[in-house]
Chains A and B, each alone.
Chain A
Amino acid sequence: MTRFRHLESVLWALTMLGIAFIGVGQSDSSLAALSIAGVLIAGAALITVPASSGNRFSLALAAATAVPLLIGPIFDFGGAVGAVAVGFLSGWVVLQLFGSDEQLATADSDFLRQSFGAFLFAAFYVALEGAAGLWIGPAGANLVAAVAAALVWFGFETGAWALTTYDRVSRRYLLRLAVEDWPVAFSLFAVGALFAYVLPELGWWAPVVALLPYSFAHIAFFRSHLARVTYSQTIRSLARIPEVAGLSPDGHSDRTADLSVAVATELGLNPHEVRMVEYAARLHDIGRITLNELNIIKVGFTDDDIARWGSEIISEAPFLTEVAALVRQQHDPYRRPGERKDPDLPIPSKIIKAASAYDHATSELGFSTLEALEVLHRGAAYDFDPDVVEGIRHVVMLGEPQR
């Protein structure tokens, strides 16, 4: 039984019901207006769009922006909050009854987060509108208040998502990742606000004016999502080629990539750098597909050759030039004896070098975690960057990387 299974969600639902009763009871808006608002939010909550962090935003963000703007202003805070509660509650019930397993997996935390975000928005909007009205006069006050309240909501949404998402990477990193979702949140807020602004003037044309542009945004975000999926699927398949050809050990690239990403987030790299680390780690052995060539079998090869061939292959794809450079430097030591350390060696390359060595020790040489760390520690400050070794120690001592 996957439906209605979490006690805390049932408690949340009861809370919503309470807020709805109190809010609607206090409201002086017509019951019809409040129910239309509720239905609007409930329907919108069922339409979701994927963002770059992996979070899914629902159209409820737009609807719950519009509702307080329409019925909230100063006189009817109760009505706005009540309608929001009714909307999220009914959307949640519909999803519990008819949702797919995939939707249900994150539904509880999504609804919890979004509903409280919406209450925050309504509260800040009402409070700020009063304050801004005193300061700049009523004309622009509601727009300023809406923008500020939307910022608060976005901050809450990203923060709460980063805290509640279970992943192998650090919370700080998830937060930085979530902030990159701003275009999605921005278009949802803009659509909601536009709807609220034009409804009194345009009536039934308001949904058309607001939703037609939104449909473009929706398609755009789905396309971006597809592009991301394509990139990652490609890189995974490409990385597996040397493995299925029996030229590099099975699963090595996956394990190296998992460990590298965990270490990269541990060391505080930004989301773009972490993505580069992941791609480069997956592809770091791609140069091995050349090992079938007859002349190579005769002459032999070095680790540096593998790095060079790999980067040549990767550099063919324009979006991967940065990755090609990282793969090229994957075997460069942190510091050669008697020399100073190379300041230009990129951190991602250093991470991949150490993570690959760690996986080689544990998976192929049969070393235990401690023995493998010992290998890294012995090479620290020569082969490996001490900071990276420390990062790996942190990650593997806290438990094997997940996923």
Chain B
Amino acid sequence: MQAVKVKLAIAYAGLGAVALGIAVATQEFPPLRDWAPFAVVAFLTVYHAVEVNDHLTASPAAMIFLATAVAFGAGHAALGAAAISAVSPVTKSDIAERRVALSVINWGQTVVAAVLAGFVLEPFFPSGAWSQRDFPLVAAGAMLASMVYHLVNWGLVSLAVRIVYRKREVRPWSRMGSILRSTVVMGFVGGLLGATYHLVPVALPLIFALFGVGYLAFSSLSELREAQEATLRGFIKALEAKDLYTRGHTERVAYFSQLIAERMNYRGTRLERVRWAALIHDVGKLAVPRDLIRKRGRLEDGEYEQLQVHAHVVEDLLAEVEFLRPMVEIASGHHSRFDGGGYGGTGHAHGNPPSQEARILAVADAFDAMTSTRSYRVALSQEFAFQELRSNAGTQFDPEVVEALVQSVVESGERYGSPNLGSEQAARLIAEGKGRP
């Protein structure tokens, strides 16, 4: 993978250099004294880029590139913006993690995007001195240039991801789509501010202040995501501390739920929500008295109800955290049967069919329960688990979900549970030390 990365870095660097060369050949450099402040601000913004999620860093740099392009106007736009993107290549985390190839790839693609955006702007600039009446046309140009910049940027980034990681789909980067929309608007705003600078140069400090405001928008986004993830991690850790059996179980259920959900074409937030619901699905256990959790054998009727009451207390507690509420609903619905029987949790009255997310969680939970060792029996075989799920499909489980699980587990080639252990009875006997292992 390293070799591919280096080759790609050389290719992108070449592309960037060519674009820069064309800009140098066809355009004039803007006055250095006016250009330098923009360069400094752009460098700082990129350097302090915010990590939006894994390795996707975002900054309002596009806003500054477009502001520069518009500010320096006809004959300077592409070169001015490209030079700025060329001198602000690295983020703080690039340096900390020594991501040389990645920085070079990024350098190439931003320079290309900036040059193209600059050339798109050219025809929108009025010839001669600007007046208030030219503003709408320049604004329209800024919008178009921002779109071009981001399309080129997005295309080159996904191409790089596809080549380096050999994935047809850019899943970890799937959030980029939603970020893209707001960055296009931000680029447009950058263009407007650039035009403002051109008409009212005194306002420069205020324009820079607004760049700072744009930066704030990104940092608050990552702050919010961090708050939400930290929340979940806190609860899960609390759960694990309580019960050793749970450790691993939640993670496996989350993994199976994700497999199923991906096969059923869940994407983005919806997929994430299923995964998170799986991670908290057992949190109700936190308040269950120890003798009930560790009980060997089946629970009696009264005990079963007691378990539910305790589980609901914690679910209500979790539902106090606003953003967790949809996930708590999924998690608390996962004990409901497909045909509407069984008990439900918050928002799931008896007899109501559970949501599809809850049905996914139910199958994932049951599959892991069968293929992992419990206090009263050892793990059953994978085939037995499939058979059991299929025979209960249509009543307890959703048939579509069961098939999705079976297919994706078989396709992945992974195997779960003990090989050749095909009956509940035998598994119990082994656990009690009476059977043949």
**What chain B residues lie within 8 Å of A270 (beta carbons)?**
none
- Known contacts A230-B227, A317-B233; A212 and B321 CB within 8 A of each other: no
- Known contacts A194-B210, A245-B287; A219 and B242 CB within 8 A of each other: no
CB–CB A209/B196 < 8 A: yes
CB of A181, distance to nearest CB on chain B (Å): 13
CB–CB B217/A219 < 8 A: yes
**What chain B residues lie within 8 Å of A313 (beta carbons)?**
234, 237-238, 241
In the assembled complex, B231 has its CB within 8 A of some CB on chain A = yes
Q: Is chain A's interface secondary structure helix, strand, loop, or mixed overall?
A: helix
**What chain A residues lie within 8 Å of B132 (beta carbons)?**
201-203, 205
Q: Which of B14-22, B30-38, B311-319, B377-385 contacts A (4 or more CB under 8 A)?
A: B311-319
Interface residues of A in 312-358 (CB under 8 A from B): 312-314, 316-320
- Known contacts A202-B196, A213-B210, A241-B286; A227 and B216 CB within 8 A of each other: no
CB of B233, distance to nearest CB on chain A (Å): 5
Q: Which of B201-209, B299-307, B391-399 contacts A (4 or more CB under 8 A)?
A: B201-209
CB–CB A317/B230 < 8 A: yes
A199 — nearest CB in chain B belongs to which residue?
B200
- Known contacts A190-B206, A202-B199, A220-B220; A241 and B241 CB within 8 A of each other: no
Bound complex: CA A241 to CA B315 (Å)? 11
B234 — nearest CB in chain A belongs to which residue?
A317
Of the listed residues A183, A224, A229, the one surrounded by the most CB atoms of chain B closer than 10 A to its CB is A224
Category for how many chain B residues contact A: 35 or more
In the assembled complex, B320 has its CB within 8 A of some CB on chain A = yes
In the assembled complex, B73 has its CB within 8 A of some CB on chain A = no
B186 — nearest CB in chain A belongs to which residue?
A216
In the assembled complex, A1 has its CB within 8 A of some CB on chain B = no
CB–CB B317/A244 < 8 A: yes
CB–CB A292/B242 < 8 A: yes
For A194, give its contact among B206, B216, B238, B290 (CB under 8 Å).
B206
CB of A140, distance to nearest CB on chain B (Å): 8
**What chain B residues lie within 8 Å of A233 (beta carbons)?**
320-322
In the assembled complex, B221 has its CB within 8 A of some CB on chain A = yes
Bound complex: CA A145 to CA B184 (Å)? 35
CB–CB A197/B216 < 8 A: no
CB–CB A229/B202 < 8 A: no
For A318, give its contact among B192, B230, B310 (CB under 8 Å).
B230
Bound complex: CA A357 to CA B415 (Å)? 53
In the assembled complex, B294 has its CB within 8 A of some CB on chain A = yes
Bound complex: CA A203 to CA B203 (Å)? 15
Bound complex: CA A217 to CA B215 (Å)? 9
In the assembled complex, B165 has its CB within 8 A of some CB on chain A = no
CB of A192, distance to nearest CB on chain B (Å): 9
For B226, give its contact among A213, A214, A228, A318 (CB under 8 Å).
A318
In the assembled complex, A237 has its CB within 8 A of some CB on chain B = yes
> Which B residues contact A (CB, under 8 angstroms)?
132, 135-136, 139, 185-186, 188-189, 192-193, 196, 199-200, 202-203, 205-207, 209-210, 212-214, 216-217, 219-221, 223-224, 226-228, 230-231, 233-238, 241-243, 286-290, 293-294, 310, 313-314, 317-318, 320-323
Instruction: List 7 additional A-B contacts (Cβ < 8 Å) besides A202-B132, A317-B233.
Output: A201-B200, A213-B214, A241-B286, A289-B238, A297-B290, A316-B233, A316-B234
Q: List 10 A-B contacts (CB under 8 A).
A: A197-B200, A205-B132, A209-B193, A216-B216, A216-B217, A221-B220, A227-B227, A244-B287, A292-B242, A317-B237
